[in-house]
Structure 1
């Protein structure tokens, strides 16, 4: 295989690896946020406002 083609294949493989790594990082961050209970207290908080509080201008 010509050297130029080898470089193109190598560059493409590297591109795909970076893409997969970024996807895995994104999914990991999303999982951490989903599993995290930092803001779980908000689910227990009562609603302060309702649609009755809206005013039309």
Structure 2
């Protein structure tokens, strides 16, 4: 399953915390069902303001 992060105009530390918490929640469910989750950064040119826009996050 491709785990999308959505669009955020001005990312904050609260966005970081929410995304991490959501990923941790999803990982437990995926693991229980044998599902692989995919996180794909999308560059700022293809999808402006996409939250997960680099591997650095």
TM-score range, shorter chain: 0.3 to 0.5
TM-score by length of 2: 0.38
Higher relative contact order (CA 8 A, sep 6+): 2
TM-score by length of 1: 0.38
More helix per residue: 1 or 2? 1
Between structure 1 and structure 2, the one with the greater Rg is: 1
